[in-house]
Amino acid sequence: MTPKIYPNLLLLFLFNSVWTRTVRQVYDEVNPEHWSHYTFECPKECFCPPSFPNALYCDNKGLKEIPAIPARIWYLYLQNNFIETISEKPFVNASHLRWINLNKNKITNNGIESGVLSKLKRLLYLFLEDNELEEVPAPLPGGLEQLRLARNKISRIPEGVFSNLENLTMLDLHHNSLLDSALQSDTFQGLNNLMQLNIAKNSLKKMPLSIPANTLQLFLDNNSIEVIPENYFSTIPKVTFLRLNYNKLSDDGIPPNGFNVSSILDLQLSHNQLTKIPPINAHLEHLHLDHNKIKSVNGTQICPVSIAIAEDYGFYGNIPRLRYLRLDGNEIKPPIPLDIMICFQLLQAVVI
């Protein structure tokens, strides 16, 4: 079915944002006061920009090992090389490192020298995407704020690996080989300030256990999840963005009020097996239900308040906040039922 976008409605997308400090903020905050006592040697394999003396660019150089890192370096770029090991020797003088990008190399767990990462006491950002890791590396620096491990071969998460990462706000494990058995009830223990958890594109059949309570963004796309447990979201009362696209959710797998959660503003359930729209909360703003098996939509049934109340309140009342509704790829035919427009008076876009 070809999607139809109603021309009198504006299409608004609420893009996901990472709730953590930006690169710009880190740059602004960590400018050293005095550079004069540093020597400005530069590894011959790398580039040291004079205007950014605390950065070292060794990306896309065909490197097979990490060069010696000068003491002045805070930002280290080593992506797109052939590095297989992370040993202590190159980091002997690198006590100020805040940021390491080792994406797209050939690093294995056996290639990481024991304890080398945890000795980088000031490290805030560690990128190890697109490598050959089979488990989350441990131990890790206690001050980390972002850990990106996407597109590896990770199937194991060592016990207690996150227990000292109280400052971590983003954990990206998407596109790995995680099974339900890898996520135990204490796996994420210690992540008290985590705000984004990405476990998309793994091999999960169940919703993960014990998600940190402060999580705002939970991404579980492209798994094989069939059931949402009763009251699952009561333990993560701040979750705002929830993505469950490309799973195996059916009507029977969703409790009566499974998604009727006041904190959720963006709910994505595209490419599942739903035949009807599940009950939603009046606070929900974006709802993605495209490419399911829904045959019809009834505004009276899905409205989180009674149609009469919604009609009486008018624009300035406490009416449902839904602004974007996507229903294409189902068996629904236009036009949009009038009761949908009466209930969701703030709708700016409907794709059907």
Distances (CA, A) of 47 to 35, 56, 90, 126, 242: 18, 6, 16, 20, 41
Give the pair of three-digit tokens for residue 95: 């006590």
Dihedrals phi, psi of 55, to nearest 5 degrees? -120, 145
23 secondary structure, DSSP code = H
Asked if residue 318 is part of any domain, the answer here is yes
Query: For each successive 10 residues of the chain (352 residues), what is the average pLDDT?
Result: 44 37 42 48 92 95 97 97 98 96 98 97 98 98 98 97 97 98 96 98 96 98 98 97 98 96 98 97 97 93 81 65 97 89 93 90
Phi, psi of 172 (to 5 degrees): -115, 110
Closest CA to 59 of 104, 18, 94: 104
Q: What is the pLDDT of residue 35?
A: 45
Q: What is the pLDDT of residues 115-150, one digit of tens each?
A: 999 999 999 999 999 999 999 999 999 999 999 999
- List Cα–Cα distances, 204 to 19, 179, 199, 300, 327, in angstroms: 25, 5, 9, 35, 26
Check residue 336 and give its pLDDT: 85
Give the ranges where the chain is alpha helix by DSSP (H): 23-29, 299-302, 307-313, 338-343
Q: In this predicted structure, what is the pLDDT of residue 307? A: 73
In a domain, 99, yes or no: no
Q: Please provide residue 238's backbone torsions phi and psi, each rounded to the nearest 5 degrees.
A: -105, 0
Tell me whether residue 275 is in a domain.
yes
Per-residue pLDDT, 314? 53
pLDDT of residue 36: 43
Q: Which domain holds residue 296?
A: 226-351
Closest CA to 289 of 255, 320, 325: 325
200 belongs to a structural domain: no
Residue 308 domain flag: yes
Query: What is the sign of the dihedral through the CA atoms of 305, 309, 312 and 316?
Result: negative
Is position 313 within any domain? yes
Total domain count for the chain?
1
Q: In whole angstroms, give the CA distance from residue 160 to residue 25.
A: 30
Distance of alpha carbon 192 from alpha carbon 215, whole angstroms: 9
Cβ(116)–Cβ(140) below 8 Å? no
Q: 157, 196, 206, 152: which is closest to 175 by C-alpha?
A: 152
* Domain presence at residue 285: yes
Model pLDDT, residue 163? 96
CATH code, domain carrying 302:
3.80.10.10
Residue appearing with tokens 């080792």 = 102
**Residue found under tokens 């060069």:** 67
| Residue 166 located in a structural domain | no
